[in-house]
Amino acid sequence: MSRKHISELLKSIRPLKNIQVKGWVRTCRASKEVTFIEINDGSSLKNIQAVTDNTLKNYKDVEKLTTGSSVAITGDLNESPGKGQKWEIQITDLEIIGLAPESYPLQKKRHTDEYLRTIAHLRPRTNKYGAIFRIRSELSYAIHTFFRNKGFKYIHTPIITASDCEGAGELFRVTTLDPEHFQKKDYKRDLYSFDFFGKQANLTVSGQLEAEMFALALGNVYTFGPTFRAENSNTRRHAAEFWMLEPEMSFCDLKGNMDLAEETIKFLITFIIDQCPEDLDLFSKFVDKNLMKTLESILSPAFMRLPYKEAIDILSASGEKFEFPIKPECDFQTEHERYLTEKHFKQPVIVYDFPKSIKPFYMRVNDGNTSVAAMDVLVPNIGEIIGGSQREERIDVLEKRMDEQNLPKEDYWWYIDSRRFGTVPHSGFGLGFERLLMLITGSSNIRDVIPFPRTPKSIDF
Ligand code: 4AD
Ligand code: MG
């Protein structure tokens, strides 16, 4: 007898003798003649139906079965005479592994996303969340497939750092100092010298600076991992812990960067459409009826490329009543981004050449000294999904920018060094992994595409 995954059995081309499945009971319907048990093991959206009757030797166990219980079922895979499924298992043996009491919260009815967030430890056992997290898994694999095929090297950039890449000060501190201890003692100066690293440390907001060092050695690289931001904004597209994909390319300018960003998004969406049709179907049926249309609108046209100045003109002339009015050199809010991509262009838009004043120190200063070679990719339902730039490779310009932004140059000595020794033009971007998942599944809240979301005032599980 061999254990099979339900996804395999459902694809079987012939009946099979003496197989076993292990999983969780979704429903159990008993009648006088037969009992139907629907089992799911997480390998696919679909359950398999198992049938038995009271001639089974431990039929009393079948009578005890409840939704949520875990079971091992042995039997033969036969063609199902019933409607709705091709295969079913004729049970020869059933073992209860763990019984779930009636208080199991996922009884057969529809639950709201808000409620399911309060039971994030159980929600992957629902159809929708099982599908999201299977897609999330495939999407990670797709990223590695794409970049490996293009010859990019995968770099593990550090989680604990001493720098603030984005300069926004949204840092989670990493310390072993006990606040009570150091309050009692009178550490007047240089408190951090007593700390674990001997200086201030934090969780990374981006692996970019370190990825750049590797691009300047290995050519084309990417990092893909968790990043952390202590942004105190409770929105549906911000999390305190999220995953970011960050490719970095040597000998590449902003145009090459935009080309890669567009190609990446198109590849990843196509990959999921091809690999996860059944799971994706759930979202286009029950979550967002326009989902496939939206995805099509991203795959078919070339992304619109638009200088920041023109984007501002379009927004100013739009006649829209924005909550945040358009001002010169303003940063975009979600409402502006969504207007451009959803209403005005009705397709993805890459805005580039942002004002120098609103962007971090590492972006390359354009001729004229007022803008930088930055780009944001905007997509429907989300707004900004990618932020990137060509990097400042000229050491004198870089140092001047750091001075302007009051960055402690001594702490970034290694970063500046890379411009001292064989500097080259290079570019890269960061793609928010959860935002891409939201786009692909039509989910409207980032909390619903991360296994255990971390947001302000919320860190259960
Ligand atoms: O635009 P951001 O801040 O860019 C950077 O961090 C660069 N260092 C990336 C690079 O050039 N290598 O962030 C990049 C993307 C955003 O476009 C967004 O999709 C996502 O990361 N992102 C978030 N996703 C979820 N929650 C948050 N709080 C996010 N902040 C940024
Ligand atoms: Mg950004």
- 328-362 tens-digit pLDDT: 999 999 999 999 999 999 999 999 999 999 999 99
Q: What's the pLDDT at 26?
A: 97
Mean pLDDT (the chain, rounded): 95
What is the SS3 assignment for 117? helix
**Count of Cβ atoms closer than 10 Å to residue 142 Cβ:** 21
What are 242's strand-pairing partners? Answer: 227
pLDDT at 317 over 80: yes
Mind giving me the DSSP string for 81-107? SSSS-SEEEEEEEEEEEE---TT-S--
Residue 430 alpha carbon, nearest atom of ligand 1: 9
Between 144 and 301, residue with greater pLDDT: 144
Q: Whose CA is nearest to atom 19 of ligand 1?
A: 432
User: In this predicted structure, what is the pLDDT of residue 190?
Assistant: 74
Query: What number is the average pLDDT over the span 232-254?
Result: 96
| pLDDT value of position 441 | 98
Predicted local distance difference test score (pLDDT) of residue 186: 61
133-188, pLDDT tens digit by residue?
999 999 999 999 999 999 999 999 999 999 988 888 899 999 998 877 766 666 66
Q: List the residue whose alpha carbon is closest to atom 28 of ligand 1.
A: 238
Q: What percent of the chain has pLDDT over 90?
A: 90
Q: Which of 210, 354, 426, 435 to mutate to test the pocket of ligand 1 (most atoms within 8 A of CB)?
A: 435
The whole-model pTM stands at: 0.96
Per residue in 208-240, pLDDT (tens digit) is 999 999 999 999 999 999 999 998 888 999 999
Cβ of 206 below 6 Å from ligand 1: yes
Q: pLDDT tens for residues 3-32?
A: 999 999 999 999 999 999 999 999 999 888
- What is the CB neighbour count within 10 angstroms for residue 336? 25
CA distances in angstroms from 204 to 210, 242, 363, 424, listed in the order given: 11, 11, 18, 25
Q: How far apart are the first and last CA of the chain?
A: 37
What is the 354 CA–ligand 2 centroid distance (Å)? 11
Torsion of CA 289, 292, 295, 299, to 10 degrees: -160
CA-proximal residue: ligand 1, atom 17 (nearest)? 386
- Residue 54 pLDDT exceeds 70: yes
The reported pLDDT for the residue numbered 201 is: 95
Q: Whose CA is nearest to atom 24 of ligand 1?
A: 432
The Cα diameter of the chain in Å comes to: 86
Output the pLDDT for position 193. 85
Q: Which of 161, 203, 236, 244 has the most ligand 1 atoms within 8 A of CB, as the residue to mutate?
A: 244
Between vectors from CA 95 to CA 106 and to CA 110, what angle results, nearest 5°?
15
Cβ 92 vs Cβ 17: under 8 Å: no
pLDDT for residue 244 is more than 90: yes
Pocket of ligand 1 contains residue 428 by CB under 6 Å? yes
Distance from the alpha carbon of residue 391 to the mean position of ligand 2, in angstroms = 15
Q: How many CB atoms lie within 10 A of CB 323?
A: 8
pLDDT of 374 > 80? The answer is yes
Q: Which two tokens stand for residue 414?
A: 């290694």
128 CA → ligand 1 middle, Å: 26
Query: Would you place residue 285 in the very low, low, confident or very high pLDDT band (cuts 50, 70, 90)?
Result: very high
Tokens coding 430: 């960061």
Give me the pLDDT at residue 182, please: 67
